[in-house]
Structure 1
Amino acid sequence: MTRQEKIVKTSIIGIVVNLILVAFKAVVGIATNSIAITLDAVNNLTDALSSIITIIGAKLAGKAPDKDHPYGYGRIEYFSSVIIAAIVLWAGITALMESWPKIFNPDVTNYTTVSLIIVAVAVVVKFVLGQYVKRVGEDINSQALVASGSDAFFDAILSLSTLVAAIISIFFHISLEGILGVIISIVIIKASIDMLRETLDSMIGARVDSELSQKIKASIREVPGVYGAYDLSLHNYGPEEMQGSVHIEVDDDLSALDIHKLSRQIALKIYEEFSIALTIGIYAHNNGHSEIRDDLYEIASKYDEVLEIHAFMVYEAEKLVTFDIIVDFDADREAVKGKILKEIKDKHPEFNYAMIDDFDVSD
């Protein structure tokens, strides 16, 4: 199956299971006058609607690139996740408004053995469904499916608490429906906010996953002739479409043809291993003036805030030294850079220095 077909198949299974649970829980909730079970039914209904939106989003995201959208429509999946989060948030707020009064004016519930069995079965079904949907989502990198699976698993825990409250009501004649309804609604609201935050991070442009960044750089450094890989930047155009750029450091005496062959080799290697299209930039490895480079690295090593220095180059004719520096976001960046620049100038005053401010976006 293609990724889109897996999303559709998994979502259809979720729709069917949730609609069956909606029917059973609604009947039980109304028959027993249980607000908690009724809210559980409403929550299952929103789960089914979420699966429908996931299918629509996957279909639209699968459209081929065109003139107006050369990078494809993959980001539509993120919009579908935002809609799902909004639906879940609405359900949670509605549940809270309905449950709160029940704490002070509890309804009398009439549980039967059949109703309790249905709730117990629902717990098992939602647990299995949640694990299945989440696993598929993780396998195919579908944020919507992972969120849906997590929500289903959480529903199983909430339904289990409903079952416990029902048993307490039967044996101890204590009504926990209102309190339980409030707890359920708060959990739903929190889950929706977490889902919304995660999706918005992807849309805005979150930090590159550190593990992925390290793997890509390590793979590049495996290529003979590469001294280092720097400035990795990745751009997400959907769960299946990622492009980016990276600088590699190579000997300063390579010909244009040598650099062309090397950069093409790296681009193909990364695409085969990670399905990421990289644009390769070049830093020349300065083989001279090692004393300046060594002094600079020694000075920088005294500052824990300095994460990396690269792209070091000495232009003898211009009496100019250039290098890139990465300072931790949480540090007083300007102060740290000023101190380093002063120290290296004091050691080698015959040169001018151009410090290029770089950013830690991937490590």
Structure 2
Amino acid sequence: MKNRNKVIVKTSLIGVSTNVLLVIVKTIIGLLAHSVAIVMDAINNLSDVLSSVITIIGTKLSQKKPDAKHPYGHGRFEYITSLVIGMIILAAGVGAIVKSIFTIIDGSNPTFDIISLILIALAVLVKIALGLYYRYIGKKVYSESLIGSGIDALFDALLSFGTLISIIVLLVWKINIEGYIGVVIGLFMIKSGIGVLMNSVSSIIGERTNKETLKAIERLVCDNPRVKGAYDLIVNNYGPNYGVGSIRIEVDDQMTAKDIHSLTKNIADKVFEKFGIVITVGIYASNNSDPMIAKIRSDIQKEVLTNNVIKQVHGFYVDQEAKTISFDVMVDYSEVNAESAIEQIHENLLKKYPDYKFIIIKDEDVIE
């Protein structure tokens, strides 16, 4: 975790120094050429400096230790910084459109030379390299803030490229098109800013952990020969690399408390070591060693799974003394008929097994 935070801060500092250099170069070119577009481009690079500073601040704040008010740490600060960067991209897009419209209305032509053209071309290449670097590191360390800054930098490169094209058109054909190009690029920036904002809000609300990680956790748990199945996996993220979750495993009902303690602790330790997730392991007791119970389970599973609404049956247990059969059924989140389907299943089973009481619990499929 510490190494990850150092990488994010280092990457952001590289962005700050690069953008400060670009601000200086573009401001000088813009003032000498009397180009409002290039001066505004320099100001836009200042916003990138702000984005990098915000990323550094957010990373530092996310490192604060857990306290009584925030027992799971402060990792979600990174999602907030990503939200702010999305707002900056959105504002930059609106600013680019406004600036471009004023350039179109003004109608005056700036004056450029070949040196200005070369410097702007170099600035475009530097910005593309910076944007790709941001995105590469951001994806590598799971930093939404860096990924957002990378998107911002690539759009800045596109904006500068538009300015470059307009300079070439102006020098060759004496036609000024930089305002029109700026409007188009500004619209793309607004779209991108909205996308970053929506992703950040979704993370703050609480997204499902990606499917690949959840399946990998299930595989790791089921690799233990004493585990007959793994179900009800839930993971709540409290930052890019820290989560708290729970899972239930099916084990033989003859296992001792000592054996269960050893098994669940081993699973929890392995999950934390590999995924950085603090997980609580619950159990489903399985008494399928009794042939009669095994047959009841098989018959009921076949009966339940004939209903297309049900995706899985698990946690099956028969209490012969209490004459109770309990199990969970998994349904899709989008399924609107789940309650009525479960009620129908309950009625059918009561007819087939009138001596038993049924407890059917509905689970949503959080992986698929």
Q: TM-score range by the shorter chain?
A: over 0.9
Q: Partners in 2 of 1:313 and 1:356 — Cα distance?
A: 12
Kept after mapping to 2: 8 A contact 1:35/1:178: no
Q: How far did residue 296 of structure 1 move?
A: 2.9
- For residues 148-176 of structure 1, what are the alpha-carbon distances to aligned partners after superposition, in whole Å with 9 as ceiling and x for unaligned? 12322333233223322322233233332
Kept after mapping to 1: 8 A contact 2:20/2:45: yes
List aligned pairs for 1:105-124, cutoff 5 A.
Answer: 106-124=107-125
Q: TM-score, normalised by structure 1?
A: 0.93
Aligned to 2:276: 275
Aligned to 2:10: 9
How many residues get paired?
363
Kept after mapping to 2: 8 A contact 1:36/1:180: no
CA separation of 1:26 and 1:307: change in aligned 2, threshold 3 A: farther
Q: Partners in 1 of 2:161 and 2:270 — Cα distance?
A: 49
Q: Partners in 1 of 2:34 and 2:180 — Cα distance?
A: 15
Q: How far did residue 262 of structure 1 move?
A: 0.5
Q: More displaced, 11-20 or 189-198? A: 189-198
Aligned to 2:302: 298
Which letter maps to 2:114?
T
Q: Partners in 1 of 2:326 and 2:35 — Cα distance?
A: 72
Percent of matched pairs sharing the same residue: 41
CA separation of 1:349 and 1:94: change in aligned 2, threshold 3 A: same
CA separation of 1:111 and 1:280: change in aligned 2, threshold 3 A: same
Mapped pair 1:337 → 2:342: yes
Equivalent of residue 351 in structure 1, options 344, 356, 360:
356
Which letter maps to 1:71?
Y
Kept after mapping to 1: 8 A contact 2:158/2:185: no
Q: Partners in 1 of 2:32 and 2:76 — Cα distance?
A: 44
Unaligned runs of 5+ in 2: none
SS at match of 1:254: coil
Q: Partners in 2 of 1:133 and 1:267 — Cα distance?
A: 34
Q: Partners in 2 of 1:301 and 1:36 — Cα distance?
A: 65
Q: Partners in 1 of 2:36 and 2:106 — Cα distance?
A: 12
Q: More displaced, 185-194 or 161-170? A: 161-170
CA separation of 1:41 and 1:291: change in aligned 2, threshold 3 A: same
Kept after mapping to 2: 8 A contact 1:106/1:177: no
Q: How far did residue 33 of structure 1 move?
A: 4.2
Which letter maps to 1:355?
I
Q: More displaced, 211-220 or 117-126? A: 117-126
Q: How far did residue 101 of structure 1 move?
A: 4.5
Q: More displaced, 226-235 or 130-139? A: 130-139
SS at match of 2:311: strand
- For residues 90-142 of structure 1, what are the alpha-carbon distances to aligned partners after superposition, in whole Å with 9 as ceiling and x for unaligned? 22223323323444553323232122111110111111112222222222222
Q: More displaced, 112-121 or 283-292? A: 283-292
CA separation of 1:12 and 1:290: change in aligned 2, threshold 3 A: same
Kept after mapping to 1: 8 A contact 2:48/2:149: yes
Kept after mapping to 2: 8 A contact 1:295/1:344: no
Aligned to 2:84: 83
Q: How far did residue 334 of structure 1 move?
A: 2.1
- For residues 3-33 of structure 1, what are the alpha-carbon distances to aligned partners after superposition, in whole Å with 9 as ceiling and x for unaligned? 2222221111100101111122233334434
Unaligned runs of 5+ in 1: none
CA separation of 1:39 and 1:306: change in aligned 2, threshold 3 A: farther
Q: Partners in 1 of 2:335 and 2:71 — Cα distance?
A: 39
SS at match of 1:109: coil
Aligned to 1:163: 164
SS at match of 2:121: helix
Aligned to 2:218: 217
Q: Partners in 2 of 1:103 and 1:343 — Cα distance?
A: 73
SS at match of 2:241: coil
Aligned to 1:246: 247
Aligned to 1:133: 134
Aligned to 1:324: 328
Q: How far did residue 203 of structure 1 move?
A: 1.2
Q: What is the Cα-based RMSD across aligned positions, in Å?
A: 2.1
Which letter maps to 1:92?
G
CA separation of 1:28 and 1:346: change in aligned 2, threshold 3 A: farther
Q: Partners in 2 of 1:5 and 1:317 — Cα distance?
A: 60
